[in-house]
Amino acid sequence: MRLRIILGTLALLIAACDAASEPESATTAYSRVPATATTAPDTTPIPNSVAGGLYDVSELFKQARSGVVSVTQERVRLDLFGVPNEVPAGAGTGIVVNNSGLVLTNFHVIEGATNVIVTGIDGRQREAEVVAEASSRDLALLQLLDIEGLEPLPLGSSDALEVGDPVIAIGNALGLDSSDPTVSAGIVSAKGRTIRTPLGTMQDLIQTDAAINPGNSGGPLLNALGQVIGVNTAIAGNAQNIGFAISIDTARRFVERFEAGVGEPFLGVQLVDNSAAAAERYELSTDKGALVIDVVAASPAATAGLERWDVIVAIDGVAIDNSESAVLAILDTVPGVKIQLDVSRGDRRVSLDVVVGERPRGT
């Protein structure tokens, strides 16, 4: 499927093409700032009358507007005379997630930026600092010092979603008006989707038919109670009404780890699904599990003795069926803890103890 990352400018769309699988994502933390903890997930059941479609989109939009901001990035470019100038390079959206001015957005919205500007519903421009990134999961955090007029949005639970539940998407579509976001309505079309984007493989996504356009990147996908249940991130470029959002349960872990002062877990391996063809080619004793196709030198995985063409079949005693289940299991750990990998190596089984690391800055 040809996918498009939905960073928008007035005249430019960034087209995506298939990318190779990437190592597990992790956070690069540039600085730590005091932050009020994000709210715990609200798993309040949605009333049948609401879930059936009898909900007021205009009222939900009014309630959410103060927690949705536009995010504009600038990059330094040389003019004809070689003089560096900061010029607008794209526009996206952000979600205010706490009372300390922490804003959640997509990594591709701020990638390569030398300056980031955030605009609220009052039209005032605020400078923002990028304080954390998770490039492989397309997430980033911005810190605002000026939070007057901004209110955090309540975070729901994407796990509590059901296919067919109504949702609305809000964002700075096409960069039309940074202080007046666009709203669209639809339903949850599917859950647990895995797609490939220029940033790598993304997992556990929500699929929706709510209209998502360039500029919506980083904006909220809300349920019928006005809770954030997803972060809009990508659209299918060769189809209609197929958009994807990062589940808020995934995004919340990213935020909470930053607030706790730690990055995301990192092993330093590149994984793909094992298969019957791979098992035959590399003389493996199983066609299940996550096949290791690369090990980063001096990484936790390399230190523990993991090798190329090893197959991870279990992590801490839990069976691993494919690369997705391996990545999700790793992301559920924290840097500094020791995990046990059960590995199939040729016709042998070995167990390796790995101390989970934190992804190095800038990688």
How far apart, in Å, are the Cα atoms of 125 and each of 76, 88, 116, 117, 180? 19, 14, 10, 6, 13
The length of the chain, given as a count of residues: 363
Question: Which of these is catalytic: 100, 138, 178, 299?
Answer: 138
Which two tokens mark 340? 């046990």
Q: What are phi and psi of 248, to 5 degrees?
A: -70, -25
Annotated catalytic, 138?
A: yes
Q: How far is Cα 100 from Cα 108, in angstroms, rounded to an integer? A: 23
Report the C-alpha gap between 126 and 277 in whole angstroms: 54
Q: List the one residue out of 180, 169, 171, 181 whose CA is nearest residue 206.
A: 169
In angstroms, the Cα distances linking 126 to 16, 103, 143, 281 are: 30, 12, 10, 56
Q: Residues 217, 247, 323, 344: which is the catalytic one? A: 217
Non-local (6+) Cβ contacts of 355 within 8 A are 300, 303, 304, 336, 337, 338
Say which of 25, 70, 100, 108 is annotated catalytic.
Answer: 108
Measured distance CA(134)–CA(234) in Å, rounded: 16
In a 3-state reduction of DSSP, which class is residue 172? coil
CA-derived radius of gyration, the chain: 21
What's at 185, amino acid-wise? Answer: A
Is the CB of residue 139 less than 8 Å from the CB of residue 107?
Answer: yes
Q: Which residues are catalytic?
A: 108, 138, 217
